[in-house]
């Protein structure tokens, strides 16, 4: 495994029902403490690859290593943020955020303290007693993120987490995610369909080809975000060049 890699994917392929080949020959190293994005056309296997790394599904061939250990299922060092939130409808915000800790056997007092901390961190303080049906889509997504943060995982895997909210909320979430990463030493693996979102957020972008998904190119935007507001980042030459470079590749897949 490369020195700075926390995840290594080796010759991974996935075939569904013995017929549909979703991925083939994926070799990939994902750096620790960085945000890496999987990007490509619909059906290219982005979510499949993310779930294989998470240990939620098994590859048909090849293997994944996380922190020097071969993946054979979910693990405490990985937390998944689902596109559809996957919240417990019968549980309030506090219980939902604490649920992963409950499964680990953390005492009620400790897990509630930890959950309250992360609920406040994602801007939902005072909503601890609310239920999912009482929250907007954006708020439910914040609950999902708080739940992932609460288990103190080294790696957070995010499957198109902002796709179900309006553009204004999406941009706000992007800014908050970058701010969160500035303060926490965590690794994020992020799936999106948005070229602009990938360029804005990522330290590394993995472009996948149409099915069966293979790696077309790995791009490192090299955008200096330090001390810049969001509008300045989106006017940065490296950001604009990255968006154009990605489009020049992906437009041939449309």
Same domain, 162 and 121: no
Same domain, 244 and 159: yes
In whole angstroms, what is the distance from residue 179 CA to residue 174 CA? Answer: 9
Same domain, 123 and 218: no
Report the pLDDT value the prediction gives residue 166, as an integer from 0 to 100: 79
Report the pLDDT value the prediction gives residue 248, as an integer from 0 to 100: 94
Q: What does each C-alpha distance from 166 to 81, 173, 184, 209 come to in angstroms?
A: 18, 11, 26, 28
Return the structure tokens found at 165: 């909210």
Mean pLDDT by 10 residues, the chain (254 residues): 82 92 95 94 93 95 94 91 84 93 89 92 90 90 89 91 81 85 87 94 95 94 82 90 94 82
User: Which run of H or E residues covers position 112?
Assistant: helix 108-121
Alpha helices (H) in 63-107, listed in sequence order: 93-103
Among the candidates 152, 170, 186, a domain finishes at 152
In whole angstroms, what is the distance from residue 161 CA to residue 192 CA? Answer: 8
Same domain, 142 and 160: no
Same domain, 166 and 221: yes
CATH of the domain at 39: 3.40.50.300
Same domain, 71 and 177: yes
Owning domain of residue 15:
5-77+155-253
Residues present in the chain in total: 254
Report the pLDDT value the prediction gives residue 104, as an integer from 0 to 100: 87
In whole angstroms, what is the distance from residue 95 CA to residue 13 CA? Answer: 37
Q: Give phi and psi for 79, each to the nearest 5.
A: -130, 140
* Structural domain total, the chain: 2
The most distant pair of C-alpha atoms in the chain lies apart, rounded to whole Å, by 54
Same domain, 188 and 241: yes
Report the pLDDT value the prediction gives residue 222, as an integer from 0 to 100: 84
Same domain, 50 and 137: no
- Alpha carbons within 13 angstroms on the beta-carbon side of residue 85 total 20
Report the pLDDT value the prediction gives residue 28, as an integer from 0 to 100: 95
Same domain, 131 and 24: no
Same domain, 121 and 58: no
Report the pLDDT value the prediction gives residue 3, as an integer from 0 to 100: 59
Report the pLDDT value the prediction gives residue 171, as an integer from 0 to 100: 86
Among the candidates 103, 132, 152, a domain finishes at 152
Among the candidates 152, 168, 191, a domain finishes at 152
In whole angstroms, what is the distance from residue 231 CA to residue 228 CA? Answer: 8
Cβ proximity of 239 and 200 under 8 Å: yes
Same domain, 136 and 91: yes
Same domain, 145 and 167: no
């Amino acid at each position: 495994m490369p020195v700075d890699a926390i995840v290594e994917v080796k010759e991974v392929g996935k075939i569904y029902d013995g017929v549909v080949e979703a991925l083939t020959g994926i070799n990939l190293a994902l750096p620790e403490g960085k945000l890496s994005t999987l990007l490509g056309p619909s059906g290219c296997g982005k979510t499949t690859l993310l779930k294989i790394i998470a240990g939620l599904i098994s590859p048909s061939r090849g293997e994944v290593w996380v922190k020097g250990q071969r993946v054979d299922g979910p693990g405490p060092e990985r937390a998944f943020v689902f596109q559809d939130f996957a919240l417990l409808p019968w549980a309030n915000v506090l219980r939902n955020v604490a649920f992963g800790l409950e499964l680990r056997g953390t005492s009620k007092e400790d897990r509630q303290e930890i959950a309250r901390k992360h609920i406040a961190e994602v801007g939902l303080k005072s909503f601890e007693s609310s239920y999912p049906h009482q929250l907007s889509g954006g708020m439910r997504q914040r609950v999902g993120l708080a739940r992932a943060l609460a288990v103190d995982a080294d790696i957070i895997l995010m499957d198109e987490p902002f796709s179900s909210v309006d553009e204004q909320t999406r941009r706000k979430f992007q800014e908050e995610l970058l701010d969160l990463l500035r303060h926490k030493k965590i690794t994020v693996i992020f799936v999106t369909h948005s070229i602009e979102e990938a360029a804005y957020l990522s330290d590394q972008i993995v472009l996948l080809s149409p099915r069966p998904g293979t790696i077309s190119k790995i791009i490192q935007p090299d955008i200096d975000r330090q001390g810049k507001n969001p509008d300045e980042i989106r006017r940065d030459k490296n950001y604009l060049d990255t968006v154009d470079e990605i489009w020049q590749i992906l437009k041939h897949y449309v």
